[in-house]
Amino acid sequence: MKAMIFAAGLGSRLKPLTDNCPKALVPVGGKPLLEHVILRLKAAGFDHIVINIHHFGQQIIDFLAGNGNFGLRIDISDERDLLLDTGGAIKKARSLLDAKEPFLIHNVDILTDLDPALFYKEHLRSGADASLLTGRRDTSRYLLFDSSEKLQGWENRKTGEVKSAIPGFVKENSFPCAFGGIHLFSPVLFPLMDAWPDCFPVVDFYLAAAPHYRIQGYPFEGMWMDLGKPAALEEAERYWNTTPSSGR
C-alpha cells in the first residue's frame, strides 16, 4: 500500500521551534512527528511512502537516510523551489503515486489512534473515489455533507463564506464536520488535476470533483490532535506520558 505524508509546511504556528528545523522533525514523545507517522503507517502495512519537502528539506532527507528509511521504500517529492499547497503537492507527486490502487494522505502534524489499515479497507468497500477523515469538533472551517456522507460544500464560519459546486445546493440541508487532515485518494481523480494550476488546495479540488465523483466523509470519534501549535504539543506530551498504547 502507498501513502503520502505532507511534510513541506513552514510550521509558522510552531515558531520558534521551526526557526531552524522543519515542522516534521519537531519532537513529541521523544520522536519527531515524521517518525511517529511513518511507524504508524508501517505497522498498518504501508510499504511505499512519498514525502514532500520544502522548509529545511535537506534535514528531512538526512533524517530518513540516517534511519535507513525505516525499512521502507520512501520517495521524496521536492518542493524546495516552490511550496505547492496540498492539491499541488499531490499533482506534483503523481508519477510516484499513480497506480491502480488508492493511496493514503497524512498530514505530518496529526497525531491519532486511527487504524490506517481499517480506513483503507473501508474506503475500498465503500466504492468512494476519495474518503476524508472527519470529526465533530469546534473549528472555524467545516466540510458540509449530506445524509449519505457525500461531500456537498465548505463553510468558513468566521467570514460567512460558503463554497459548493453541487447544483441546487442548500446549506441548511447539509451537516458540518471538521476535516481531519487524513484522506484516501483514488487515482481515477488524477486526470481532473490536469486542468488545475501547479499550486492549489486539495479541499478546493474535492469540492470541484464532488458533483461528478463520490467524495465522502469518514466519521471518526477516536483520539485526534492537530500538533500545529505549541499548546497542542504540550497536550500530546501529556498524552504520551499517560497512555501506554500511544503508538510508540
What are the pLDDT digits (tens) for 56-90? 999 999 999 999 999 999 999 999 999 999 999 99
Euclidean distance between CA atoms 138 and 187, whole angstroms? 32
Residues 20, 26, 31, 34: is their CA dihedral positive or negative? negative
- The predicted pLDDT at position 98 comes to 85
Euclidean distance between CA atoms 130 and 104, whole angstroms? 10
- The predicted pLDDT at position 245 comes to 53
Q: What is the mean pLDDT of residues 99-126?
A: 96
- Residue 234 to residues 9, 196, 202, Cα–Cα distance (Å): 20, 39, 29
Euclidean distance between CA atoms 97 and 157, whole angstroms? 34
Euclidean distance between CA atoms 75 and 227, whole angstroms? 24
Per-residue pLDDT of 161-206, as tens digits, reads 999 999 999 999 999 999 999 999 999 999 999 999 999 999 999 9
Please name the residues in contact with 201: beta carbons below 8 A apart, sequence gap of 6 or more: 85, 86, 87
- Residue 164 to residues 35, 56, 167, 179, 197, Cα–Cα distance (Å): 36, 36, 8, 16, 20
Q: Which range, of 37-46, 102-111, 119-128, 227-236, averages the lowest pLDDT?
A: 227-236
Share of the chain above pLDDT 70, in %: 98
Q: What is the mean pLDDT of residues 91-109?
A: 95
Q: What is the mean pLDDT of residues 215-237?
A: 92
Quickly count: other Cβ atoms within 10 Å of residue 222's Cβ: 9
- The predicted pLDDT at position 231 comes to 87
Phi, psi torsion values for 119, nearest 5 degrees: -60, -45
Domains of the chain: 2-242 (3.90.550.10)
Cell 460544500, located at residue:
153
> What does the mean pLDDT of the chain come to?
95
CA atoms within 13 A on the CB side of 242: 6
**For residues 230 and 114, which has the higher predicted lDDT (pLDDT)?**
114
- The predicted pLDDT at position 242 comes to 73
Which candidate, 59, 62, 53, places its Cα nearest to that of 10? 53
Please state the pTM of the whole predicted model: 0.95
pLDDT tops 90 at residue 217: yes
- The predicted pLDDT at position 128 comes to 98
- The predicted pLDDT at position 248 comes to 43
Cell 487515482, located at residue:
187
Determine the distance from the C-alpha atom of residue 205 to the mean position of all C-alpha atoms in its chain, rounded to a whole number.
14
- The predicted pLDDT at position 243 comes to 66
**For residues 229 and 144, which has the higher predicted lDDT (pLDDT)?**
144
CA atoms within 13 A on the CB side of 9: 23
Euclidean distance between CA atoms 100 and 162, whole angstroms? 34
